[in-house]
Amino acid sequence: MAGIYVHIPFCKSKCRYCDFTSFPEKLGFAESYMTCVYREMLMRSQELSSYTFDTLYIGGGTPSVIDESYIAMLVAAAKKYFSLTKNAEITIEMNPGTVSASKIDLYKKCGINRFSVGLQSAIDSQLAELGRCHTLNEFVTCAKLLKGENFSVDIMIGLKGQTTEDIAKSIEVAAGFGASHISMYALTPEDGTPIYTDYLNGELPDGDEVAAMYEFGVKKLAELGFRRYEVSNFAKRGKESRHNLNYWKRGEYIGFGVAASSHIKNVRFTNTFDLDEYFKCILTNHFPVIDREEVDGDGQKEEKLMLALRTSAGLDIASFNAEFCADFLSDYAAAIEKNAQYLDVADGRVRVKDEYLFVQNSIICDFLS
């Protein structure tokens, strides 16, 4: 099984922390853009005719900012050009400030069965500080429209002036209104974004403070029945994101639209980040790929290891050995010994202990050196 990702690069406004490819000033190009996405799908359909896809993820940007009819046509195009399973997980990202009852109704009618809602914080002053184009009340309205649906909520930690009480409120609001999945991310101040100035001025929590916030959030989520299955992702049993799990298992996926990435047959490639260039390529029947890399055997092993150790389940040693004709315990003996206090090696698996999962990057580096 493989996944499909579609990038919708339009937003109502640009958040102060956002480093993603998005164009709040170009919403008028949405119809032309979506027409090109449908065409790109058609262009790829023949080479992917042997694939069966069990997830479709519509991300951004803010997919919910464009007319809902474009989303319905997108889902229809995916079903027309590719083989999707009957129970395919079809997700759309939404900003609470850009949704309506009619939008959500059409989303459901066209086959979308999972919704990812960007709350980020239940504190209005923090939402304003982040440059979010919605309020807590608008989230509540959105959540009520999604009552009974499978939906996820994004929450951020490491915000200016944020307290553990603020984090608890955000989690309780998300859970209380029916979220079955919560993603809890640490704010990353990227160079070139407005919020990077706050970081340079020392106005954001430091690493130790963010780590404490994370541990607090993990415990709060566990109390409410959310099981951590990846560093930043928590779900009620059976509500894990199948699309994201495919990424962490190093599965295959095809990306459509500007800045979309793909992983097919051990080749990773990325579409252009330039909207005009994307239009030009599609309208002249050229794939808009700007970066292509074939991942060799060692690269495949490293990716498999790195992605698996981000998850609570960790790495299946026997599966790894069979896939790469390896002897994991012998090949990585030095890294295992160096990080013995941080790892659980038992029952045929190696995993980062729960209390160290937030800082797993430094542990993983020892396995890649």
Q: What is the DSSP string of 229-283?
A: EETTEEESTT---HHHHHHHTT-EEEEESTT-EEEETTEEEEE-S-HHHHHHHHH
The region of weakest confidence among 33-37, 153-157, 196-200 is: 196-200
Q: What is the DSSP string of 30-74?
A: HHHHHHHHHHHHHHHHTTTTT-EEEEEEEEES-GGGS-HHHHHHH
Q: To the nearest whole percent, how much of the chain has pLDDT over 70?
A: 100
State pLDDT tens for residues 244-285: 999 999 999 999 999 999 999 999 999 999 999 999 999 999
Question: What's the full length of the chain, in residues?
Answer: 369
Q: What is the DSSP string of 141-191?
A: HHHHHTTTS-EEEEEEES-TT--HHHHHHHHHHHHHTT-SEEEEEE----T
What is the average pLDDT across 52-68? Answer: 97
Q: Would the pLDDT of 359 be above 90?
A: no
Predicted TM-score of the model (pTM): 0.96
State pLDDT tens for residues 316-333: 999 999 999 999 999 999
Quote the mean pLDDT of the chain.
96
Strand pairing report for 252-256 and 233-235: unpaired
Q: Would the pLDDT of 368 be above 90?
A: no
What is the average pLDDT across 164-174? Answer: 98
Q: Would the pLDDT of 369 be above 80?
A: no
What is the average pLDDT across 185-192? Answer: 93
